[in-house]
Amino acid sequence: MTGEKSIFLDLRTKKGGQVTFEGGQKGHIMGIGKIGINSSITIDNVLYVKGLTHNLLSISQLCDSGYEVSFNKNKCTVSQSDSSILFTANRCNNLYKILFNELESQNVDCLVSYENQWLWHKKLGHASLRLISKLKSITS
């Protein structure tokens, strides 16, 4: 689930439902859709929750989408079915946080592109990632 509407590749309105945040505050579920780096690396059925300030990944959703997830005491690794590492997350205060600038895989062109998309997303006044991808294809 996420509170960032602009990261969706597609988003459908979903009425009803709430998520309880720390401290008892509630966020309303406003939609459901697909997020992803590109059309081949996606996660379906992601909730758009108004007011959510952090992106939260569901391990079961990653597995249902065909990714392999493994944990140890200090790290979580998410791989594609061909065993190439998609990203790692380091354990910090009982949470696994994805640090894209510390990727271990040498085959991470798509993630570097994703980081650049986030940079341009911010520079272009929070333009959608779909628009940024279109701009990239026009200028390439």
Domain membership flag for residue 73: yes
Q: At how many degrees (to 10) do helices 129-139 and 109-123 cross?
A: 110
The count of structural domains within the chain is 1
Mean pLDDT of all residues in 102-130: 53
| pTM, two decimal places | 0.61
Domain membership flag for residue 122: no
Pairing type for strands 68-71 and 95-98 reads unpaired
pLDDT category of residue 109 using cuts at 50, 70 and 90: very low
Domain membership flag for residue 65: yes
Quote the domain boundaries for residue 93.
61-105
Residue 109: beta bridge partners? none
Mean pLDDT of all residues in 87-110: 65
pLDDT > 90: what percent of the chain?
18
pLDDT category of residue 61 using cuts at 50, 70 and 90: confident
Residues 79, 62: Cα–Cα separation, whole Å: 10
Domain membership flag for residue 69: yes
Domain membership flag for residue 92: yes
**pLDDT (0 to 100) of residue 126:** 64
Domain membership flag for residue 118: no
Domain membership flag for residue 97: yes
pLDDT category of residue 25 using cuts at 50, 70 and 90: confident
Domain membership flag for residue 39: no
